[in-house]
Amino acid sequence: MASAAEPLTIGLLGAGNVGAQVARTLVEERELISARVGTPVRLIGVAVRDVEAPRDWRIPGELLTTDAESLVDQADLVIELLGGLEPAGSLIERALRRGAAVVTGNKALLATRGGELSAVAAETGAPLHFEASVGGAIPILRPIQESLSGDRITKVMGIVNGTTNYILDQMDTTGAAFDDALTEAQRLGYAEADPTADVEGHDAAAKAAILGTLAFHAPFTIDDVHCEGITAVSAADIEAAAASGYVIKLLAIAEIFDGEGAVLRVHPTLLPRTHPLASVRGAFNAVFVVAENAGELMFYGQGAGGVPTSSAVLGDLVSAARLLRHGTTALEPSEPTETVPALPIEKARTQYYIDMEVADEEGVIAEIARVFADHHVSIEAMRQPGIVSVDGEVDTEQDNGAVLQVVTHPAQEKSLAQTVATLKALDVVRAVTSVLRVEIEQ
């Protein structure tokens, strides 16, 4: 490591949207960053796959290299913004093992090998910071690790993917179809050309694993997260939710249940429009935290984009560089300290919204209600939306059928799922067209 008289050297791995902005700041605002760290800093190289590729900011040619390993071996502090599991994982481990500080925004890697890399950091005393891995510019991980470290967090729930929030918001506010909203998100740069990781919920699931690990001081991976995306959310679901006073959001939820363990889940969720998360619009993110002493807290801000996310990276850089310069390790524990088993989603306690097409005949409501009672699931609300005919009368008949919408009271996920399975087998139920979970206000 560099002495106090020498600049602290920084190696940057990756120069995509975020990496290019980080490089720009380190070059153009070098004096400011050095002042914040308390010692001179110097960017010594940017490792890329193609030095000729166009970038958001033109990085000086002398900084560009394709030799990532050599750059890692020379730097006091390594910023990893390559994404993916490899070579990012090997390069981070290489840096940590030689005592270099590491800053990363790689949620997929952290949700897969976070525990292993934290153990290496603990062994060598090298700082490992990753604020940018969740929520873009929102400072959420450090408050959980430090500000709330003396409290007991019982639940973390958030909108942590800007792409899906933009799509669902457009469907809700403009009536756009899913495909049209996705196309617009891609045009605006909110969605990748291949949006699978976003719309199928995988990106949010990785972030749920990270949030759960930090909130509950226990090791979770993406394999512990129940994951559902938004591709099955229809315009009819959006309209029905709005008619009942709800909005649909893709939520990442980590929650402690009955002292048995934690359920981590990602899925489309109906939120009452009075819930703080319901007002999060466009590509913004927000994380809602519930703690025993602090109560309810919400963190809100820009959740994506090169410039906002670079703010989190640079904040981590300053923090890690200060620790490195003064010869101390990270303030927070590097490794999980508690045993909190990951529970299957069947252990969760939630509510269901169920949309059904049923026969329009006497006794149907009673038969359906009996199914709920048999599974010990009570009904909070039942609605039979009408269709206004040309003469202005409300007609619930549709080819001798009707639509029935039910919202349950809170119940165990296992009982709710069994209820739906039984409903699907009833002769009077022609189809269960939609099943969505409901999140009530705390």
**For residue 87, cis peptide bond before it (omega within 30 degrees of 0):** yes
Contact in structure between 15 and 55 (CB atoms under 8 Å)? yes
For the chain, the distance separating the N- and C-terminal CA atoms, rounded to the nearest angstrom, is 49
- What span, in angstroms and rounded, lies between the C-alpha atoms of 63 and 46? 6
Q: Which residue has the tokens 């899906």?
A: 164
β-pair partners for 269? 249, 437
Q: What are phi and psi of 102, to 5 degrees?
A: -130, 135
List strand residue ranges (DSSP E) for 203-308, in order. 225-227, 246-257, 261-272, 284-291, 295-302
Residue 352's SS3 state is: strand
Q: Which structure tokens are listed for 196? A: 């699978």
Closest-CA residue to 100 (of 79, 74, 126)? 126
Q: Which of 107, 155, 207, 347 is catalytic?
A: 207
Residue 346, amino acid: E
Phi, psi of 374 (to 5 degrees): -60, -30
* Other residues' Cβ atoms within 10 Å of the Cβ of residue 238: 22
For tokens 């506010």, name the residue: 173
Q: Where are the alpha helices (DSSP H) in 98-252?
A: 107-124, 141-142, 162-173, 178-187, 196-199, 202-216, 235-243
The amino acid that residue 335 corresponds to is: E
Q: Is 105 exposed, middle or buried (0-12, 13-18, 19+ CB in 10 A)?
A: buried
CA distance readout (Å), 207 to 15, 33, 291, 341, 411: 22, 28, 19, 18, 26
| Whether 107 is catalytic | no
**Cβ-contact 438, 351 below 8 angstroms:** yes
Give me the half-sphere count of Cα atoms (radius 13 Å) on the Cβ side of residue 251. 29
Instruction: Give the whole-angstrom CA distance, residue 396 versus residue 402.
Output: 6
Cα atoms in the 13 Å half-sphere on the side-chain side of 50: 5
- Euclidean distance between CA atoms 35 and 110, whole angstroms: 30
Task: Give 85's contacts (C-beta < 8 A, 6+ positions apart).
Answer: 108, 109, 112, 113
Which residues have a catalytic role annotated? Answer: 207
